[in-house]
Amino acid sequence: MRQYCRSGEQRLASLTTFTDEARIALDTVSSRASDLLSPSLRLGVTGLSRAGKTVFISAFVHNLIHGGRLPLFEAQKSGRIARAFLEEQPDDAVPRFQYEDHIHALVDERIWPDSTRAISELRLTIEYESASGWNRMFSRGRLSVDIVDYPGEWLLDLPLLGKSYREFSHDAFELAELPVRADLSEAWRKLSGEIAADADADEMVARKLFEGFAAYLKAAKLDERALSTLPPGRFLMPGDLDGSPALTFAPLPNLGDGKARPGSLHAMMERRYEAYKTHVIKPFFREHIARLDRQIVLIDAMQALNSGAAAMLDLERALTEILACFRPGRGSFLTDLFTRRIDRILVAATKADHLHHESHDRLQAIVRRLTQRAAGRANLTGADVDVVAMAAVRATREGTVKQGRETLPVIIGTPLKGETIGGEIFDGKTETAIFPGDLPAKVDSVFEAGDAKNHRQDQDDPAIRIVRFRPPRLERTAEGVTLSLPHIRLDRALQFLIGDRLA
């Protein structure tokens, strides 16, 4: 099975046409001209569902606007940031990221905001004093960060641009037959086997096949399996395309090498697949991905860890496909006038506040190994790639409890209403302390293929106990000023992503 995009210029050529590249170049030239007067940086924020994209962006902006505690973010630590504020975004056709609504949910209602369902954008402008006297003479000390929020599921569609419908179908069935997926895909595979690809096109048959395929993808995404490689992404998050013919298709088995008969089901599915690539995937790449300067990829590694080695291997496959379809590297002065490239990529394992800090190094080591393997296969030449274990909003604090003669490290927080621990159902108001468990000390053990045959661990003894907590109650000063959102290593993420641009 072809799991990854091709490398180098061949890979980029498979994603765009000459016309696409010309439009990208014109857009880049216009943007570079604007940057001479008002420097900007386009930061992509992506991740698979429930990885915490909305929370990350909200915390990113809130901490900069409110002067949060960011000791590893050098410009803030040294007092060189004069102010940070929101401005009107440059792209009028892209929905605005509703920062104010999300902060109201986090701070006032203490509920987690709704997840990313489509693309959105927000411009945060930072006024600062350069650390260099030379730069202070020639720079205005102003940087606009255009934050582009988009679902990682849509990014996983990009490899489809390099695949024919026949190749897509072959790969989809090969994935569906893996032990971790076989029972979930059984009904759809059985239905597909009963329908002849060369039969006359039938809208109701196409709809049944699509619904069966989409149901299998959605089941594979649930916490029990926590799988990540599930294209086409719009089948999981259709946005405004829900119900359109461009989404009403599915893979077909045993297509052979012959050309589809006109008027057949095969021809219908193939036409819709190509329409999906032309009208959905290509514009997404051209108008958003090809315009990025920096990128953060958020992953929920702990849910995959709890689901076993098969889920971790699938997360690695997904991360490889995501990284392989960025435009990495650094260009020359001339090439940068016409083409943007992503020169820094951060892979962040979220929800570190669900673990005691003693396990943070292990989580980061696991994600580093995951990223190194994925980045090596994706051939990210020229881009700086780093990893971090973080929590953009810290919902817990740490403590210890005595259990007999043993002292256990615990995390303390308010579980969401309906969460269950040891048979106790929480009301969303009661604070509790839990021992979250320990991550494996041996990094390689979580990727061992032998374990991948077992699609889940013993549910009575998971690697870590994942409990969803309410956002924290913010502290207030004696003067009644609400402090910024607490976090774990958000400052390190900021330093890597934008610190050099504020030097």
Which letter does DSSP use for residue 289 in this model? G
Instruction: Please write the tens of the pLDDT for every residue from 346-399.
Output: 999 999 999 999 899 999 999 999 999 888 877 777 789 999 999 999 999 999
In the predicted structure, residue 433 carries a pLDDT above the cut 70? yes
C-alpha of 129 from chain center: 32
Specify which of 32-36, 47-51, 195-199, 312-316 reaches the highest per-range mean pLDDT: 195-199
In the predicted structure, residue 24 carries a pLDDT above the cut 90? no
In the predicted structure, residue 327 carries a pLDDT above the cut 60? yes
Q: Under a CB-based contact definition with an 8 Å cutoff, are residues 425 and 467 in contact?
A: no
In the predicted structure, residue 77 carries a pLDDT above the cut 50? yes
What's the confidence (pLDDT) of residue 132? Answer: 73
Q: Is the peptide bond before 232 cis (omega within 30 degrees of 0)?
A: yes
Which CA distances in Å does 361 have to 290, 349, 441, 466?
A: 34, 11, 10, 18
Residue by residue, what is the 3-state secondary structure of 446-499?
HHCHHHHHCCCCCCCCCCCCCCCECCCCCCECCCCCECCCCCECHHHHHHHHHH
Residue 7: what residue type? S
Specify which of 168-177, 282-291, 317-326 reaches the highest per-range mean pLDDT: 168-177
What's the confidence (pLDDT) of residue 241? Answer: 75
Q: Under a CB-based contact definition with an 8 Å cutoff, are residues 457 and 322 in contact?
A: no
Q: Under a CB-based contact definition with an 8 Å cutoff, are residues 142 and 39 in contact?
A: yes
What's the confidence (pLDDT) of residue 432? Answer: 93
Cβ neighbours of 405 (radius 10 Å): 5
Cβ contacts of 290 within 8 Å, gap of 6 or more: 16, 24, 327, 340
What's the confidence (pLDDT) of residue 16? Answer: 57
Instruction: Please write the tens of the pLDDT for every residue from 449-495.
Output: 544 444 444 444 556 778 899 999 987 766 655 678 999 999 999 99
Percent of the chain with pLDDT strictly greater than 70: 84
Cβ contacts of 78 within 8 Å, gap of 6 or more: 131
Per this entry, what is the length of the chain?
A: 503
Instruction: Please write the tens of the pLDDT for every residue from 236-290.
Output: 888 777 778 888 999 999 898 889 999 999 999 999 999 999 999 998 988 888 8
Which letter does DSSP use for residue 201 in this model? P
What's the confidence (pLDDT) of residue 208? Answer: 96
Please state the φ and ψ torsions of residue 152, each to the nearest 5 degrees. Answer: -65, -25
Cβ contacts of 431 within 8 Å, gap of 6 or more: 412, 413, 414
- Residue 12 banded pLDDT, cuts 50, 70, 90: very low
In the predicted structure, residue 55 carries a pLDDT above the cut 70? yes
Cβ contacts of 135 within 8 Å, gap of 6 or more: 503
* Strand arrangement of the beta sheet that strand 397-403 belongs to: 397-403, 406-413, 432-434
Average pLDDT, integer, range 194-202 = 95
What's the confidence (pLDDT) of residue 152? Answer: 86
In the predicted structure, residue 27 carries a pLDDT above the cut 90? no
What's the confidence (pLDDT) of residue 333? Answer: 45
Treating both helix axes as pointing N-terminal to C-terminal, what angle do 265-276 and 203-221 enclose, rounded to 10 degrees? 50
**DSSP states of 86-141:** EE--S-TTSPBP-HHHHHIIIIII--PPPPP-S-EEEEEEEEE--SSHHHHHH---
Average pLDDT, integer, range 412-417 = 94
For tokens 């702990």, name the residue: 302
Q: Which domains does the chain have, with CATH numbers?
A: 8-150+288-394+487-502 (3.40.50.300), 158-282 (no CATH)
Q: In this predicted structure, which of 58-62, 206-210, 375-379, 421-425 has the lowest mean pLDDT?
A: 375-379
What's the confidence (pLDDT) of residue 259? Answer: 92
The pairing of strands 120-128 and 142-149 is antiparallel
What's the confidence (pLDDT) of residue 303? Answer: 86
- Find the angle CA(212)-CA(231)-CA(249) to the nearest 5 degrees: 45
Cβ contacts of 360 within 8 Å, gap of 6 or more: 352, 389, 488
CA–CA distance, 352 with 129 (Å, rounded to integer): 33
Rounded to a whole number, what is the largest CA-CA distance in the chain? 76
Q: Under a CB-based contact definition with an 8 Å cutoff, are residues 391 and 486 in contact?
A: no
Residue of higher predicted confidence among 146 and 311: 146
Mean pLDDT of the chain: 85
Residue 334: what residue type? L
- Find the angle CA(236)-CA(237)-CA(241) to the nearest 5 degrees: 115
